[in-house]
Amino acid sequence: MLKRSVLVIIFLLVSLFVYSVSVVYQARVYTEEVILNDYKKREWRVYAGERLPITIKREELTQKQVDWLLAIQDPKFYEHEGIDLSTPGAGLTTISQSIVKKLYFNEFKPGVSKYKQSLIARFIVNKRLNKDEQLEIFINSVYMGNLKGQRIYGFSKSSQVYYGKPVTQLTDDEYLSLVAMLIGPNQFSVLEAPGKNKERVSRIKAVIAGEYHPKELTDVYYNRT
């Protein structure tokens, strides 16, 4: 009985290894043939979708804007290798994983998709794109709500839609209101839920100022007492 259990465990581990290698290989091919080619052309695409332009460079954000974004979205972004399951307040999805979810999945579901996402973030995105390139793709591709049936992607587009001006001209509060939307673009919409957005901005400010320290990994709403 014990021998049989050991054989089953070995079979499962081998199967997981083979599956993981297959996922990484397919992602590597897709990265070389699509992701990197798109990026060279200053474009990106939702998996198997239309190409969209990269409209804002990473260096167009001020260092303060970058620091604030990372403090809320991915505090250890420049230190981890695509995955971070230890930093309080970081949540379950790094910027690297967010890119994977958008660019490598037609349909993302909890469970197996999360495992694949983590593999691709760690062994493909983290290897083939440097941190600044990852951040640039993120600020252009992140989903920022739906307005009159139109999906809004990226900080450049959302800045124009919600405030009628480029990111470089946003006030600190206006910029933070966009950062506040990242956790839930519709739930914390600048236009549809201004009260919730304002409240989230105040919590974000407390984190940035060091007045609130997230208690654990999933303390992403900054309301743990």
DSSP line for 13-68: HHHHHHHHHHHHHHHHHHIIIIIHHHHHTTEEESTTS-EEE--S-GGGS-HHHHHH
In a domain, 12, yes or no: yes
Residue 59 lies in a domain: yes
Strand partners, 143: 153
Is 100 in contact with 125 (CB distance < 8 Å)? yes
* Residue 60 domain-assigned (yes or no): yes
Q: Is 27 exposed, middle or buried (0-12, 13-18, 19+ CB in 10 A)?
A: buried
Which domain, by its residues, includes 108? 2-208
Burial grade of 88 (CB within 10 A; 0-12, 13-18, 19 or more): middle
Give the closest residue to 179 by CA, choosing from 81, 64, 97, 78.
Answer: 64
Give the pLDDT of residue 107.
87
What pTM was estimated for this model as a whole? 0.93
Residue 219 lies in a domain: no
- The pLDDT tens digits of the residues spanning 136-154 come to 999 999 999 988 888 999 9
Look at the block and give the residue holding tokens 């400010």.
Answer: 205
In a domain, residue 169? The reply is: yes
Span 182-188, average pLDDT:
95
In a domain, 223, yes or no: no
Q: Is residue 127 part of a domain?
A: yes
Which of 1-5, 33-37, 200-204, 215-219 is predicted with the least confidence, judged by mean pLDDT?
A: 1-5
> Is 220 within the bounds of a domain?
no
Please report, for the domain that includes residue 66, its CATH number. Answer: 1.10.3810.10
Q: How many domains does the chain have?
A: 1
